[in-house]
Structure 1
Amino acid sequence: MNLQDNGTRLACGWTADLAEAVRATAAWTGGAGLEETRARAQFIRFRPWALDHEREPFGAVELTWCAKLDRIHMPPYDRHPRPHAVLAAAYAQPVLRQLMPVNSHFNLWFSTGVEEFWKTRVGYLICPYDEGLYGVRNKGRLVARTETPEEAVALVVAALPEEFGPAS
């Protein structure tokens, strides 16, 4: 079961007990918060950032970063450490943290747009499964292969345009 708010997964859990699943669904759709929902259905799990967001909502970019970084703790994404390593390395860079992170087929790229992010792509794309290395691509063309996600992210940061603002 996934508990979402405006398309962002805030909590999840697995249970074979149908009554417990119904209790969780009734609580969540009835307006209960994360802690109250978990109190009614113990299988529900969430991370601290989700409670923080529930108490004081994050902006779209920060919420997206939190949700994407948190996927490593929730199935089925917990089986993919390399894409998570790229996300974590990118998040460590303040200039990238202000951009919208976008994933597709485990690749990572960035946007200055929040809603139509595919129209405002900026910089290179990182492919974490490029023959066991980290491929850095620009418009489909391979720019470099690196051994670590940090090296790939450094190339992305170095190639960013001089002047651009945070995603909006």
Structure 2
Amino acid sequence: MSAFASAGAGAEGKAPDPVLYPDLVAAGGIDAALRRIASDLGLDLGEVPGGAGYAGGGPARSGPDAYRQPLTVHLASEERAFIVSGWSRGVELVRGRTPDLHQVARAAAVWRSGASLHELRALCPFVTFGELAEAHERGPADAVAVKWRQLRESLHGGVPSPTVRSLVEAAFAEPKLRQLYPFTSQRSLHFTTCTGYPFTWVVPFVDPLQDGRFRVCGPSRRAVIGETDTAEEAVALVVRNLPADIGPAVAGTARD
């Protein structure tokens, strides 16, 4: 597989700006420029597709790293910059921005090799990642634990309502929900059985209401299970309507 998904300037895939990207214009496109750099530097990028939006593809070995998608590369339109993003199993693990296409090619080769996130950043300092990405790299249990902690910490700044905070704390106190990957959408609290996007919709979710009460729905948004006066009652209603075979969240997406 290739290591890249190279794109034209901007999201629309227009031809590169000759002022900002004369090297790409001279080479005949970003894919041709990458192939030339890979040849000059002796980098293994796999196949570099022409104009497909990818610049250096899947990993060269099996194992967990085999789920890495080709590194995507987009061109900034206001200044010269290559914007890269690396996804694996529905999670964006890395991103970066650099004006140097040689750095992009090196990052794609390292990404494709299956190097760890820290190894990638050590060799390609323009690449960044966060604590949650590191947790995903370690495995789904760590990703779930870090996601819950980050969600709870984000609710201590006084911005969300006490209703939302009480709901998150009540859900975290329930072991059957604490093993699932939490996410919020328009104030609703959801629980998914996978850690990558798109998420599953097999677990009921909770909507905090304006009057301080709670509405439990699901799995579809149109299916209302009931309304409760307290967060604890809402969580208990979710638990009573969990699938019988519910278990800890797994790596991957709903499509898997």
What is the aligned partner in structure 1 of residue 226 from structure 2?
Answer: 144
Paired residue for 1:166, among 248, 252, 256? 248
Query: How far apart, in 2, do the equivalents of 1:68 and 1:59 lie?
Result: 14
Which residue identity is paired with 1:149? Answer: A
Corresponding residue to 1:92 among 167, 173, 182: 173
Taking a change above 3 Å as real, the CA distance of residues 87 and 79 of structure 1, as seen in their structure-2 partners, is closer
Q: Secondary structure at the match of 2:159?
A: helix
The answer as to 2:184 corresponding to 1:106 is: no
TM-score normalised over the length of structure 2:
0.41
Shift of 1:83: 1.2
Look up the match of 1:45: none
Closer, same or farther: CA 96–135 of 1 in aligned 2, 3 Å: same
Structure 1 residue 80: Cα displacement:
2.1
Q: Which of the two has higher C-alpha Rg?
A: 2
Q: 2:205 aligns with which of 125, 128, 131?
A: 125
Q: Per the alignment, in what secondary structure is the counterpart of residue 154 of structure 2?
A: helix
* Corresponding residue number in structure 1 for 2:238: 156
- 2:237 aligned partner, one-letter code: L
Output one character per residue of 1:68-123: Cα deviation in whole Å (capped at 9) or x when no partner. Answer: 0111223xx634221111110000000100000110011011101101252x1222
Alignment of 1:34-49 (within 5 A): none
Long gaps (5+) in structure 2: 1-92, 95-124, 127-131, 251-256
CA gap of 1:150–1:144, structure 2 versus 1, over 3 A, is same
How far off is 1:141 after superposition? 2.5
How far apart, in 1, do the equivalents of 2:154 and 2:247 lie? 27
Is 1:136–1:144's contact at 8 Å kept on the other side of the alignment? yes
Which structure carries more helix by proportion? 1
Query: Higher strand fraction: Structure 1 or Structure 2?
Result: 1
Distance 1:91 1:132 in 2: 19
CA distance in 1, matches of 2:145, 2:202: 18
- Partner amino acid for 1:107? S
Structure 1 residues 117 and 85: alpha-carbon distance in aligned structure 2, compared to 1, 3 A threshold: farther
* Aligned counterparts of 1:117 and 1:65: Cα–Cα separation in 2: 18
CA displacement 1:108-166 (0-9 Å, x = unmatched): 11101101252x12221100125431011122222211000000000000100111221
Which residue of 1 is the match for residue 162 of structure 2?
81
Q: Is the 8 A contact 1:100 1:117 kept in 2?
A: no
Count matched residues: 119
Residue type of the alignment partner of 1:150: E
Aligned to 1:68: 151
Long gaps (5+) in structure 1: 1-5, 8-28, 31-49
C-alpha spacing 1:83/1:117, structure 2 compared with 1 (3 Å): farther
Rounded to whole Å, the distance in 2 between the matches of 1:114 and 1:67 is 15
Structure-2 separation of matches of 1:103 and 1:150: 18
- If the length of structure 1 is used for normalisation, what is the TM-score? 0.61
Secondary structure of 2:205 counterpart: strand
Contact 1:111 1:117 in 2 (8 A): no
